[in-house]
Amino acid sequence: MLKVEDWAEIRRLHRAEGVPIKEIARLLGLARNTVRAALRSERPPRYERPARGSVADPFEPAIRALLARYPRMPAPVIAERVNWPHSLTPLKNRLRDIRPEYIGIDPADRVVYEPGQITQCDLWFPETKIPVGRGQERILPVLVMTLGFSRFLTATMIPSRQAGDILSGMWSLISQVGRVTTTLVWDRESAIGGTGRVTAPAAAFAGTLATRIRLAPPRDPEFKGIVERNNGYFETSFLPGREFASPEHFNTQLGDWLVRANQRTVRSLQGRPVDFLETDYQSMIPLPPIEPPIGLTHRIRLARDYYVRLDTVDYSVDPRMIGRFVDVTASPAEVIVFCQGQVVAQHRRSWAKQAVITDPQHVIHARQMRRDLTRERHSGQTTTTSDRQHDDGHIVELRALPDYDALFGVDFTPTPIPPMPSPPDTTERETTPS
């Protein structure tokens, strides 16, 4: 086949310099018919291999019959149904060509965001294991939030993907910016909207901030492509070559790196996110004067072992609260236990699993309570029901149960049941012959 270089040289020699065809053929070592053909062609020569067909051609009618009824049937299932004898690659290539005829094509539009309009949120799970204490290492989620207009990037590592921890991380990042956009976009994260509807904790959080949470369609990562690309940016630009001693160390390094990341030039903006942040900020919603409901919370009656469990970790509580209801609240940093509005326990949050966190003062109180109880038992002064007191100190008066029977005119005195007569003696008596 004639090379492109020879084709260009033939045209130059003949048309620009007037060299005859016979001389061109001699100079380039080509046949005169080849030179004539090159001069007749207005386009450079291109090699085209003749179509040989595909091993999928004989199976295409059966494949199309299946796709007509089940447009999204996976390739391995189709291969089984049509008795496909080859590797899956030719079948997948054919399905890539003909499947859109049955399910259609969903184009992704290029969206332009207005200032203060939207924030895209996502969880990124770095593969690096983080030491969390007690000899444990865990892969922890990182909450990533990106402003749609300015592309300003914020992120923080959180202890779990439970709703309380995610909302605590969101409030921390929103507070750093100082305002919130009118819409927060999330995928179908289970704690935010796993069922297709925004969960109650997430709705309460958004309502307090006067914003809304919008859920992305299922299996549509392009819906929040900005934050998805930033997750890849973390993987390639932040994570390589770094080591972390703890979650706090991770967040410290991440915070320092984000300062530089927000000063890079973004191609779609033709500028730096930090330079567009002020325009974004002016169109956002001011934050409310109160903090939205965040963190892990639950209420429980304190048992005899005076520990409460939160995220598989047991935390000690003042044993003097045994038998009372206590309210447990937890942020990523600390765990606080309240009883009737008073703090009865405060611990640093453990990010390790199956741990036991004990306040030594609680152990001292429990030991003293056991000594006092033993002393009372030995002295015969064990507390009775008549000694029960209210919280303010006055004695609880107890009435005898028969008084309530007389008040309602009932008598629960059991009537004695007469004894049953003994059955007659039916045994045969021995008779003496006369």
Q: What is the pLDDT of residues 47-91, one digit of tens each?
A: 777 777 889 999 999 999 999 999 999 999 999 999 999 999 999
Burial of 9 (0-12, 13-18, 19+ CB in 10 A): middle
pLDDT for the residue 231: 95
Reported pTM: 0.71
pLDDT for the residue 385: 45
Q: Edge-to-edge, what's the strand order for the sheet holding 118-124?
A: 153-157, 142-147, 118-124, 183-186, 212-215
Closest CA to 164 of 338, 355, 310: 310
Measured in whole angstroms, how far is the alpha carbon of residue 232 from the centre of its chain? 17
Find the helix packing angle between 4-11 and 32-40, rounded to 10°: 80
Burial of 246 (0-12, 13-18, 19+ CB in 10 A): middle
- CB atoms < 10 A from the CB of 270, how many? 7
Find the helix packing angle between 32-40 and 21-28, rounded to 10°: 110
pLDDT for the residue 53: 83
Q: Edge-to-edge, what's the strand order for the sheet holding 296-301?
A: 296-301, 325-330, 334-339, 342-348
Alpha helix positions (H), 262-307: 273-282
pLDDT for the residue 432: 41
285 φ/ψ angles, rounded to the nearest 5 degrees: -90, 130
DSSP three-state, residue 267: coil
Alpha helix positions (H), 234-359: 247-261, 273-282
pLDDT for the residue 399: 66
The dihedral region occupied by 170, where left means phi > 0, alpha psi between -120 and 50, and beta the remainder, is alpha
**What is the pairing mode between strands 325-330 and 334-339?**
antiparallel
DSSP three-state, residue 154: strand
Buried b (16+ CB within 10 A) or exposed e, 41-65: eeeeeeeeeeeeeeebeebeeebee
Q: What is the pLDDT of residues 87-128, one digit of tens each?
A: 999 999 999 999 999 998 877 667 789 999 999 999 999 999
Q: How far is CA 341 from CA 237, 330, 345, in A?
A: 47, 15, 12
Q: How far is CA 368 from CA 308, 350, 361, in A?
A: 21, 28, 11
* Ranges of residues in the chain whose predicted pLDDT is under 70: 108-109, 380-401, 404, 410-434
Report the C-alpha gap between 416 and 381 in whole angstroms. 39
Report the C-alpha gap between 157 and 139 in whole angstroms. 10
- CB atoms < 10 A from the CB of 280, how many? 24
Q: Is residue 103 within 8 Å of 71, Cβ to Cβ?
A: yes
Buried b (16+ CB within 10 A) or exposed e, 109-148: eeeebebbbbbbbbbbebeeebbbeeeeeeebbbbbbbbb
